[in-house]
């Protein structure tokens, strides 16, 4: 019987992948506390005194880990309050992003249908990206990925290439559980 709910989640993800939609129900009930240690590990890569835009901000855990001299802009595709920049990275037309020095994206890009388009859009005016991603090496099972709602499956080399093709250099890579954390920077 356990396979039935998994099968339903996989089928829903396949339909969402085909329709290029987003899973609103999943993210409305999101519990970011499960990923607090990942957020804490990513925060030092932001730096001091930066303006930070976080996609998938949910309950704003990143803000708690930033230096007080940073300016924080939370973003989510669920409207979570008056100061959130509401943005669905799966929308056919991406809005202009707020000006910032650093974008943080944790646990989001696995659910985005066109990651190269997002990377190219960011490269127009965001010098640094701190991002986590579940690479194919860490999560090789397509059944598992679709069951979690993930709509893409890049290897580490493919993922890095997406950002390099957008003009970024990969400054660092590190592990958090089976996920990878990357820091990308545009050349000066």
What CATH number is attached to the domain comprising 11?
3.40.50.150
- Residue 1: pLDDT band (50, 70, 90) is very low
- How many domains are there within the chain? 1
State the average pLDDT for the chain.
89
Q: Are 160 and 170 in contact (CB under 8 A)?
A: yes
Residue-wise pLDDT for 83-114, tens only, equals: 999 999 999 999 999 999 999 999 999 999 99
pLDDT at 142 over 60: yes
List of residues 6+ apart from 138 with CB closer than 8 A: 178, 179, 180
Q: Which domain holds residue 113?
A: 3-185
Overall average pLDDT of the 34-53 stretch: 95
Per-residue tokens: 53: 């835009």
Q: What is the pTM of this model?
A: 0.87
């Amino acid at each position: 019987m356990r396979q039935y709910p998994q099968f339903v989640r996989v089928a829903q993800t396949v339909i969402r992948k085909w329709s290029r939609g987003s899973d609103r129900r999943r993210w409305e009930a999101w519990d970011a506390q499960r990923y607090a240690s990942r957020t804490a590990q990513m925060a030092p890569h932001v730096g001091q005194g930066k303006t930070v835009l976080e996609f998938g901000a949910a309950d704003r855990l990143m803000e708690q880990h930033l230096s007080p001299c940073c300016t924080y802009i939370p973003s989510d595709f669920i409207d979570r309050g008056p100061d959130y920049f509401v943005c669905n990275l799966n929308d056919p037309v991406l809005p202009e992003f707020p000006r910032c020095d650093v974008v943080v994206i944790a646990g989001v890009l696995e659910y985005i249908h066109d990651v190269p388009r997002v990377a190219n859009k960011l490269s127009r005016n965001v010098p640094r990206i701190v991002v986590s991603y579940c690479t194919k090496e860490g999560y090789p099972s397509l059944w598992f990925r679709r069951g979690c709602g993930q709509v893409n499956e890049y290897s580490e080399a493919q993922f890095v290439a997406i950002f390099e093709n957008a003009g970024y250099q990969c400054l660092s890579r590190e592990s958090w559980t089976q996920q990878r954390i990357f820091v990308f920077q545009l050349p000066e």
